[in-house]
Structures are given as C-alpha cells and as structure tokens.
Chain A
Amino acid sequence: MGIAINKMRYLLAAVIALTGLFILTVSPSAEAEAASAHELNYFQYETYTHEGRDWLRIELGIKGGRAEFASDVRELTPQQLHISLLNTSRGGVRSDIALDKKIAKYLTLRQTADNTLDIMVSLNKPVADQAYKLYTAEADKKGKKPYRLVIEIAADKLTSEYEADGPKAPDTLKGLQGRRIVLDPGHGGSDSGARGPGGLLEKDAALAIAKNIERILRSSGAIVTMTRTDDRDVYGPLASDRNELQARVDVGNADPGNEIFVSIHCDAFTSPTAHGTSAFYYQPSFRGKLLAESIHNEIVAATDLASRGAKAARFYVLRNSSMPATLIETAFISNYQEEALLGNPEFQYKIALAVCRGICQYFRMR
C-alpha cells in the first residue's frame, strides 16, 4: 500500500516535470512551517510599459487571506527594497529568484524571527531614485491567480515624484563664499517643540527649513555647521534644557572661525489667532540685531507673513553664543493657515531662500 502511493507520487512528479507546466520558481517545500497563518503559494513577474515608462511587476500569492506588510530601505543598502510580510512562511516559493535584470536583479525570501518573511528586491539603482507601489490584489479566478501581494517598480522617478526632496538644484547666492555659518534646527528627538492643530511638529518643520537653508548656503560656497541633521536631541534624550541648549551653543562655539549662529524655530501661542513672523537677537549684540533685522526683512519681503518685528529677547542660545546670533520664529505652527505653510515643501524652500538672502545682506552691511 505505502509503496503504491510512493510510486504514484513519483509518477505524478515526472509527468509534471515533463509537460513543462511546472513554474520553475515554485517547488514543493519540505520545510513548510505550520506555525504561520499565511504561506506563499504563487510567484510571478513581468515587465510592461505604461505611458512611456518601464515597469516591473512582481506578484506573490498568499494562502490564508490578508497578511500585514511593511516596507523599508536600509541606510547601508540603498538599492535594496525590503518588504516584511507578517506571520507568513515562504511555502513552496524558492528563496532566491533572478528577476528581469533591467530594473531589478534578484529577489530573496528570508524567514526572520517571529514568523516574518523578509522579501528583498535588489534594484539596479537606489530605491530613492525609483518610484514603486505596493498593494494587495484579490484572487483572480479567470487568470488563476490567488490573493496576492503586488510589488511594482518603475525604471526611473519623475520630477514630480521628487517633490518631497525639494528642487534638485538649489539657488546659488553671491557673497557667501567661504563664510562660516552655524545652523540650529530647533528642538528634535525627545523634544518635539510646539505641535500644530493638524499635528505638524515644530522639530520636523524646523529641520526641513534648516536643511533647505543648508543646501542653498553650501551651493553658494559657505561652510555650514549644523547642530543636528536628523530627528535627534543634540545633548541627549530628555536632558535638562540647560544641557540641551548649551550643547547647541557648543557646536557653534567649538570653531572660533564660525561667524554667525542662526536658530530656526516655529512660534506658538495658546490662542490660534496669533500669527506672523519674527526674529530675535540678544540686546547687547549690535551685530546680532543687524543679523536678525536683515533676515527678518527678507522673510517679510518674500512671503505674505505679517511682520511681528525683529526684537530683543533673553533666549539661551542668543545670550550664550560667542558670535552674532539670531533665533528666527518663522511662523506660528499653532495657527491653522501658517501650520499648512510650514508643512509645505515649497514654502519651506521659499522661507529658507529668504533666510539665505538675509544672511547675504548681513555680510554686505557688516
């Protein structure tokens, strides 16, 4: 009896192999994990052209219905797109699969701890330079396709798709060659700063604007030092205000060649009607005042923001910097209209350019 079944299996496998119906990438797996709620049961890829763009479409069938997935790109491997399928096993799909070569080289399936399946697609270019889509598709009885995860990758990225990265070539201003400028994006990490009614965080808007300023200043030949370049505390998480603020001052004061300190913030108030832009300086510093006024005037000229003036204030970073310093309160994140502006990449660039023009003006007048 047992022998008969074994023989039948053997025969069946031979028939399938001979007729060539067998899809290369799907093979019966001996190590199917029973613990997972989902299992891959289908694989296919194809390339196609849509509106003049070349696309690669990868489809992975999932047995057991809806599976949760998430994607990420890791810093050290920018050409690899990772998709995590939760509570899923590889099933009968091969672990290493060659792809079209033009858009993507190959795909690997690796089981990680806690039953997650890591799908890695190795692309020819950094993922950041290729548009991609991830979605699930219902079972297609006509096309004999099960419920599946679909990964679509375009050969290139359109200019409009770069929107979040800002304009490709920043403006270049004259008179900044060799100038040493310290930029301080306010708050960060454990300190979010103020929060807008729509949820925008001051630390994120301040960093986005400061990064635009950095790009324009660098392309204009200035030497820029940033107190932070990502979402982090400068001293350390949950430090005292004094330690955190002094750490920012220290970044600037560390190099005696640094000429100016510019801190970028978003203003906030309890009443949502408060609005407008302001610049602050430490009263005893004449050059600090000149710097604040120069930048403030350019922001008022470039935007529709109401001027709240360039004003003296006893702010920590202004009082303790060893160079002319200003703190720019770009606009009110607590005001609906201005929060929308602060979250808009075009506006972030516009106000950044105005800050740079103000810095130019300062160096001309100084």
Chain B
Amino acid sequence: MKLRNILILALVLLCTAALAGCDKEKLPAGSSGSEPLSSSSSLAAGSSSVSGKSAGVMNIKVYYPDVNAVGLVGVEKTVKAAEADKYRAAVEALLAGTEDKRLTTVFPKKAKLLKVTVSGDTARVDFDKNLIKGFVGGSTGEEMLVGSVVNTLTEFPEIKKVQLLVEGKEIDSLSGHLDLTRPMTRMDELITR
C-alpha cells in the first residue's frame, strides 16, 4: 500500500518535471554570430504540452546581460500566454531571470511589473517603485536594464519604441544617466550575441 503511494507520487513528480522541462530556456548554440529567431522545434514541443488551454504558446527572445556586463545576450524562451498578454509575458520572463551562469539580471529583486500597454508602435512598461528604489546604479547597469526591456519588446515586429514608467508616471532617467524623457528605440549596440 505504502509502496504504491510512493510510486504514484514519483510518477506525478516525473511528469511535472517533464512538463517544466518544456518551459526551459534555450541559449542560441555557440557564441559566434547572431542567431536567427526561428527555432520552430521548441515551439512544436511546447504546443503539445499545453493542448486544450486557451493561452497560446510562443517562442520569444529575451535579453540578459552577461556577468561582466559586456553586453546583452538573446536567449530563446517558450512562454504560455494569450495573444493580448504576450508583451507582459515577455517582460515577466525577463524579470524571472536565467539559470545560465554566464548571464545575470540587473533588475532589483523586489521590482514588480505592473502592466504593459501598447499604443501605435510604442509599448509603455509600468513597474512599481522598487525598480528605482532597489537599483544599484551605474551607467552600465542602467543601459543593461533599459536595453534588456527595450530589446526584448522590440523583438515583436509591431513594437518600435518603449517608454518606461514607474507607478504610472513616465520617468526621466533610471539613475541619472540615460535620457528616458523620450521613448527608447531598439538598442542594438548593446547586443553581443
């Protein structure tokens, strides 16, 4: 009796792990050159795992800085989200961080995404006050944080510009370096691969 319970539990755990595995990020293989976004195999694998749910499965590219902050690295991730929630899902994936030891995150741990709205070609990304409160500063940190949001969202072809907000208000700068008084266009210069 007891043994059977344990076996069932083990089976359930195994299934959960397998499902979670479908959600794992994929680094573009190798470090040379820029990787194309098309990686349809993971998309197909993802679809099958959530069949029957209303949310679609998307393959997105999220940008994280490397540990030395030399630049941003694009990481492919599979997320489940309804079409209307895809921008939010992309920023949430960015905030969630990465397990790759070569990469890191610049977001303060407590920073929370409030909402993402899109009007025309501009995405307005609203964070709570912990984005600024917990930010450790520096030109490089600021560029990596803003660049990761801007580049992740402008991966969607319909998004050309990104405006950052904190608690509903547009911000001038994050820590006194970048000029955020105007919406930011893509920051390709920060991408190393």
Contacts and interface: CB of A to CB of B under 8 A. Distances in A.
Interface in B14-60: none
Interface stretch (A64-72, A132-140, A308-316): A308-316
A191 interface: yes
A195 B135 CA distance: 11
Nearest to B68: A274
Contacts of A314: 178-179, 184
Nearest to B184: A314
A266 B138 contact: yes
A186 B68 contact: no
B177 A316 contact: yes
Contact of B139 (A195, A273, A329): A329
B70 to A, nearest CB: 7
Contacts of B178: 313-316
Contact of A278 (B104, B140, B175, B189): B140
Contacts of A313: 139, 143, 177-178
A295 to B, nearest CB: 15
Interface string A183-217: 00011000101110000001000000000000000
Interface in B166-186: 171-173, 175-179, 181, 184
Interface residues of B, number: 27
Contacts of B175: 193-194
Contact of B138 (A240, A268, A273, A316): A268
A272 B71 CA distance: 15
Interface in B124-165: 136-141, 143-144
Contact of A270 (B105, B143, B179, B184): B105
Given A267-B138, A332-B138, A334-B136, A316 B67 contact: no
A269 interface: yes
Contact of B68 (A273, A278, A327): A273
A143 B104 CA distance: 66
A127 interface: no
Interface stretch (A31-39, A159-167, A241-249): A241-249
A195 B141 CA distance: 13
A267 B105 CA distance: 16
Main secondary structure of the interface of B (DSSP, over half): loop
B136 A270 contact: yes
Nearest to A246: B172
Contacts of A202: 137-138
Contacts of B144: 269
| Size range of the chain A interface in the assembly | 35 or more
B69 interface: yes
B104 A191 contact: no
B136 A320 contact: no
B140 A329 contact: yes
Given A271-B67, A271-B69, A273-B68, A194 B137 contact: yes
A218 interface: no
A236 to B, nearest CB: 14
A319 B177 CA distance: 11
B98 to A, nearest CB: 13
A66 B180 CA distance: 55
B136 A191 contact: no
B179 A315 contact: yes
B189 A312 contact: yes
B67 A273 contact: yes
Contacts of A308: 70, 140
A241 B171 CA distance: 8
A180 interface: no
B13 to A, nearest CB: 33
Contact of A265 (B136, B139, B179, B181): B139
A84 B178 CA distance: 45
Contacts of B143: 313
A61 B123 CA distance: 72
Nearest to A266: B138
19 contacts: A186-B176, A187-B176, A193-B175, A194-B137, A241-B172, A241-B173, A241-B176, A266-B138, A268-B140, A269-B69, A269-B140, A270-B141, A311-B189, A314-B178, A315-B139, A315-B177, A316-B179, A329-B138, A332-B138
Interface of B: 65, 67-70, 104-106, 136-141, 143-144, 171-173, 175-179, 181, 184, 189
Given A194-B137, A245-B176, 14 more contacts: A194-B136, A202-B138, A241-B172, A245-B173, A245-B179, A266-B138, A269-B69, A269-B144, A270-B141, A271-B69, A273-B67, A274-B68, A274-B140, A313-B143
- 10 pairs of A and B residues whose beta carbons are closest in the complex: A268-B138, A194-B137, A242-B172, A241-B173, A316-B179, A241-B172, A274-B69, A269-B69, A271-B67, A267-B138
